[in-house]
Structure 1
Amino acid sequence: MEEKQRPWSYKEIIIQCLVMVNIWKAVSGQIHYSIPEEMQKSSFVGNIAKDLGIDRKQLLDHGLRIVTSTGMIQYFELNFNTGHLQTSERIDREKICGRAEMCILKFQVIAESNLKLYVIEVEIMDINDNAPFFLLKGWELKISELSTPGSHFPLPEAQDPDLGINSIQSYQLTGSSHFSLDVQMGENGARHAELVLEKPLDREEQSDYDLLLTATDGGDPIRSGTVQIHIIVLDANDNAPVFSQPLYEVSVSENIPKGSTLSTVQATDMDEGIHGDIKYSIQKIMQRDSQMFLLNSTTGEIILTGNLDFEESSLYEFEVQAMDGGGLSDRSKVVIFVTDLNDNAPEITITFELNSVRENSRTGTVIAILNVQDRDSGVNGEVMCSIPNSLPFQLKKTMDNFYTLVTDRALDREQVATYDIPVTAADNGTPTLSTSAIISLQLLDTNDNPPLFLQSAYTSYLLENNPRGASVFSLKASDPDWEENSRIVYSITESQISTSPLSSYLSINSETGVVYALTSFDYEEFQEIKFLVKAQDGGSPPLSSNISVTLFILDQNDNAPQILFPSPPTDDSTGIELAPRSSEPGYLVTKVVAVDADSGQNAWLSYQLIKATEPGLFTLGLHTGEIRTARFFLEKDALKQSLVVLVKDNGQPPMSASVTVTVVLADSIPDMLTDLSSVPVSEDPQSDLTFYLVTAVAFVSCLFLAFLLVLLALKLRRWKNSQLCDNGSVHFDGAPISQFVGIDGVRAFLQSYCHEVSLTSGSRKSQILFPIGSCTNTLTPQQAPDKPGPLLVIGDSNTVTEEAAIHQVST
């Protein structure tokens, strides 16, 4: 019997575990803690705030949080009040790690303020929380009575999920002095107990024995488990079964279906009859594995009854026993290797993500942090993460299975406003499995584009004499930015036109860019206006651009020709030009000079001779205005020639001016005066016409006045007769005449008419004058109508004046 080791007390183990809560920071940036299993929820693990060098009061400001993976249980949490790392679930080391020597839970903590990751390792220390136990409640063992003392017989092995000192340390056998225990240490440190026959057996003396096997661990307190051993003494059986091989190794794929035969064990027994009948059974198997396999007790076939999963367990091992009818047996070990298949696609977990970023963000800006996991192993678990090369982003692997998505080059919202970034994680298995995730990123606008005009310069035309407020032209600028950064305000750069500011002539609509004229332009004053228009956006700071605008004023035919020579007379007389009688045809008598303030065809002047005393005697240049003789002068030609020249422009409609040129046929001024004094007065047809018109007007006026006098006389007579009939005598003295004026509406006709008609032609003048008398609306008894005076006619060699004086007639 192996000497028992001194068990450790439970308190000593707890103190040891607490002392082992040591912390160190490795070169890789990992933080390590050690805690015992089965701690209560919210138990202290470590002062993570202190270990990370962060003030516990600023944990929330740093955005410290634990990165969780999809489908994984999170056993720890952060206490933001104390800065401690504490448990969030009860931790069972045996459930998580099985019989692994080291049980380490690994997770990551991210600080969002600086996007830094910390790897945290928590080692789970084993405590004695499991008692040893046997899979079977009872064990039956058949031993031949021929067995010699010292023979060894296998016993069921107890199991304890704990490790080390907390696992099985010893076995005890009680119930009979015929048997003892032989405890041996296996290669992996496990203890195996065998039953040793101490004294010969005699079936006839005692056919069976009941023993109690106790397994004890070394924890504090000590825990134990028992199993009943029932021994049946058999008749002699001198040959034990023998397996064909001591170890059976099988490799199967994890997707093998239920009911498949994994392997077949085989043993032989040289005995005959019942002593040669072999029964197979599974021995020494983990409780969780016992439901995965079934051993056919007759054929030795190992049949799969559960689902194999490489990710849960890649190795199964147990022992099979072959026992004959005489109680002799043999054991062999079976090892089943589960080969991995690529049956798990990678999993992508986005631990940090930005939904929007400004377009002027610097290269290398972190957009997202991703964690990629694949439950497969080996090549099947090797994962590569990628994004399309055409996108302006780069995926960098930081540590373990973490990737950081950063900007790779400058971003421009005006080209692409929103990105849907596909992230693909693919493993290296066959066939390859992959998973995709979409990261949506919106670019926020910055004011990086100034307004741009559609043209490099603008030219517009405006007809002069435009109405005030008329639209001159419009211009347009565009800005590819967004919202306020693209709202354009138009303005005219202030400058001077002549001595006045430009703002007194033109204005611009700040929103539409339409330019309006504030005044009516005159081509003769302005032919063109040059100015700058500024387009400025609403960004901060604002951006702007200027454009040159030239406004041409177009001419209208709004100015009549002006005759410069001969100059217009101031005394209603015309200038006199001399033409020698000896002039030959083509002789230049004079030249009419005229100008037009307009331009272009509106200023193209043409000259026409519309009236002449002697038609055909003179010619007028159509475009030069030169008056020349057309033939030799004759004796019968009048000495005084009147020429009416019309000057007309080429506008639409045309405008014109006329001038009368008097040409005297004489060699010198003294000759001209002598010739004019001897010239008899000739009746001018125009003067006769004037005379007739004046006479007609005077005659119509006399008829109207006569009608008024007759009407008045009739009224007075009627009134006088009515008075004589009433009173017999009539007295008008002292009676105001206004009492008689309004009778039957006669008063409405009592007015004074004053007419003056003056007709002038050349140097001869005829006038008809009606002298203006006093005008009154009442007639006194002393006043009586006067007869109209005679028509006064005054005439001379150049003028004839007719004057008619009509005295005032009042009623």
Structure 2
Amino acid sequence: MRNPPRRWCCRELLLLFMLLGTLYEMGSGQISYSVREELEKGSFVGNIARDLGLEPEELVERGVRVVSKSRTQLFSLKHQSGSLVTKDRIDREELCAQSARCLVSFNILLENKMKIYGVEVEILDINDNFPRFRDEEVRVKINENAAVGTRLVLPFARDADVGVNALQSYQLSSNPHFSLNVISGTDGQKYPELVLKQPLDREKEAVHNLLITALDGGDPVLSGTTHIHVMVLDANDNAPLFTQSEYKVSVPENIPIGTQLLTLTATDPDEGINGKLTYSFHNEDDKILETFQLDSNLGEISTMQSLDYEESRFYLMEVVAQDGGALLASAKVLVSVQDVNDNAPEVILTSLTSSLSEDCLPGTVIALFRVHDGDSGENGEITCSIPRNLPFKLEKSVDNYYHLLTTKTLDREETSDYNITITVIDHGTPPLSTEDCISLKVTDVNDNPPAFSHASYSTSLLENNPRGISIFSLTAHDPDSGENAQVTYSLVKDTFQGVPLSSYVSINSDTGVLYALQSLDYEQLRDLQLWVTASDSGNPPLSSNVSLSLFVLDQNDNAPEILYPALPTDGSTGVELAPRSAEPGYLVTKVVAVDRDSGQNAWLSYRLLKASEPGLFSVGLHTGEVRTVRVLLDRDALKQTLVVAVQDHGQPPLSATVTLTVAVADSIPEVLTDLDSIKTPASLEDSDLTLHLVVAVALVSCVFLIFVIVLLVLRLQRWHKSRLLQASGDGLGVMPTSQFVGMDGVQAFLQTYSHQVSLTTDSRRSHLIFPQPNYADTLISEESCGKSESLLVSDK
């Protein structure tokens, strides 16, 4: 709920009216005091208890206290004595500044009576402030041609005091040129002025130093000072002047760009812009302006580009110095250039041959050139040379011209390019030199035939090679160049066994690769001797030959060939005789075989592959001899069949077999009897023979007759072969005592045997001869065969 508005009662209204009356009464009373500034704290100002009509002890009872109108309270009450005293040190200038009167107002409150009394305290000034200028030093300017009576305003001084303690007067230090005048302003401030009494001359005295003093009227008198510097401004009453009318300098021509040559000095006693000089070239051509630089402020002359004695030996120029008032002076400058050895000699080619044939004659001119040096004197004297290890020389001509000549015949294959360095050096100190290189290319002539790296070549090829296989590659080198070095290869035309070599091999004319045109057979062709020609493409062409030995290597492509026993053409087998009385190791026969291959491919070994009576016979591993292993027994069959295998040592090995028939008997009749008994199963005397037995007997007779005929044919064939061997190799009958017979360097052991079979056909009688083994070192002749034991066998 809102509180109801408060209503004023009569008592409260009465108190309000009494307070307003008290305030009115308070405003009507005023207490005044005066006190000097800067008094100590607690200094007596006035007896406030007495002025209020109270006793000192009543001050506390009535609640009397000071009520200040400002935040700072300057005064306080002493209740014991009832006095008003200063609360702190009072500074009048801080409170009232330059006011003529300084009044501080505050109130005295009597709380019990709700009365207020006004109090006013006047702060009296004391002379506690010096007159003070704002600056300790002041600079003023005046022109040296200013008229007498010219006034210069000076800074004034300020004094914080008032009245008689304030600033009263100024004083000026003694000076013949200036006097002091003081002007009072409408604000009561005094303003000092300087007044010119005599003309000024800046060149004699440019600055006048004065001292001005400000004085107040206090007791004692206080003062303040400031220094016045009167700057006399210059008037352009003096022209510039050079220290010399002509400047000379001598410099070498190789000084760096930017080098300072000399400094021109001109003076002007004037000051400021009137005495500030600027330097410049006067009426100079563009060459001077491009070569030299003049500092307009310092008068320094330096180079902007390199000097060249050969271009200009001296430079003459005029320099002007001008002040700010358009007054000027001029001076001559002579720069002499000294020659130094700064130009290296140069080579100027007039005529040049860039290529020369290697067959040119000595003394051929290669180049014509001229040497030049821009320096003079010894600096321009030149010596020209080339390296001594070259086949060239220099010959001097007129006007520093030189010829470059050859001194001997050139060889392109030894050196194809020459870089001839021409060195020219002058006689300066230090000497300068220049090198110029002339490149000369030596062109080729066809003066070198192609050359092989070896005097002869050899290579090998395995037989049965594929057609077109690459065999060997030959390379010939020709030191010439271009077409003179383009080599082609060819085979020299030749034959082997009446066949052109070109049918066996061919050569690639460009690459020198040798190819086989056909498959070669070692057994027919062991080696080929070829001549290869390498020819260049020069004009005329040159060529060279080299020999190439082509060896054909053997392959195991031939099986062993059995020479003995020879196989009959009708498919029958031969018969060898072994007596029953033969001791173990008895030589029954010998298998002789050869191999058309060579090396291990022709190395043969023998072994017994099959026997009708195992363990009865053996075969020599390397000799092929068939010998008995044990004693022959009666129970051993008359006919023994042996199968002997002959194998070489090639990879893979090849072999051949032969079937031997051995007849076991002591004599030929026994052989025949045994053969008849074997072939006739029943007696022929049986009168009860049936037709089948008659036919069987007839068949046995036919078989026997065929057997005899076969033996005869084999013998005749063997005899015919022996005749052929005798005709081609001096005959087997007269063969040397060597016990080895072989082919292609591989020999087979062969002991001598002689077997002769003869057959006669008179009265159905056959003549069969079984010779005894012959242990001689040679094969028996035909005459010895005639001496063999013969046996006549009659038909039953």
Tell me if TM exceeds 0.5.
no
Rg larger in structure: 2
TM-score for both structures, normalised by structure 2: 0.44
TM-score for both structures, normalised by structure 1: 0.44
